[in-house]
Structure 1
């Protein structure tokens, strides 16, 4: 099978050697998925990445598409080519909080406009709800979606979040790239209200969103219409101006 991967047009870099796929464990998680994701984040083609790592493009394709293992030397070269670490490609940092890496030498902190904030919120995902309770402030993660300029999430009937209806809450979403030492955060503040519009709820249910990762019954729907929306991003000076900055 490995011979077939090097057949045809030879990509840049040295040929694929069988010792690049030794029996070393690939570590926790999906190595191929992390490689492909990081490559797309950098805007690199498979051929460009393979050339940077000094390996055959066919072997890189094999890594990205199969539950493969990889030798330590090839893994280190690939991590260098992708501007990350072997530990991160193997998923060894999953137990660490984001942002544990040292700051970049020349960080640039920028305020995000309201449209830029909504642009980052729009795909949905996991955010954090902060609210005050009788026992003190709490911050809880939720799966959320955006609908008509509001944030929607679900919770259990007797949960702390269910009691947030009618209260002022804060909702935060962020994204950190430890490899590049860049990231962004968005903070929305407003009053939590019950979301009980049957047609809208049915539409969201058909789409399967928001679908709480925690599982279990989540029959209480809550809507947050932000009265305040702010955000910030951190990039490196070498990156130049943000591509999404309005003229």
Structure 2
């Protein structure tokens, strides 16, 4: 079965008024973000189609990003340069990911026998900001730092959503929900019920809703108000997680890891 992945969801609304926003800068960021899912360099017509921005405007934005060093050009095609990593370095450095978060995740990953991912909510998506395979021999999910996953169809997303503010849940479930597999929950009532179960047991459990035959388990990393500021998750073949006792045991260890990381994330 071929899964049709929709375009990245727009960020949930904020309180900032339109009059206080630079539309030109916003369009430039749209162009930069258009490379996120690109497997090869993009031309200006490619970028205009992906962003819906007028081609001549797209050209000026692209050339500006080239001048600033965020894009490179070859044969009239463009690709992100290593300079884009600067945009994330401050976030990771402030939270001491390399010095404190990564070693803790590596330790628990080895104990679990599973690769662990750490994600935060970015609009309607969960975005990976740390990853530990633990044992190099572990088979990984193919996702890494910077990967985006939908909040509604993955365990790491539902762990973030279940412990989010009620208005965030209401806004997300009010929009059409995409189906990634034949078993993806797209009914808002069914998802609300699942989020309630996630809160009650303390961890999210999702099977086959984003990738067929794949199960994911995730727990929130909570702030002082009991809201999710991040989430930890593992992913593997569904056959490994058929026993609820196995899922519970994995979730308990993930929760221990989450509590250890709570003061750093």
Structure 1 length normalisation: TM-score? Answer: 0.29
Higher helix share: 2
- Report the TM-score, using the length of structure 2 for normalisation: 0.27
**Structure with greater proportional strand content:** 1
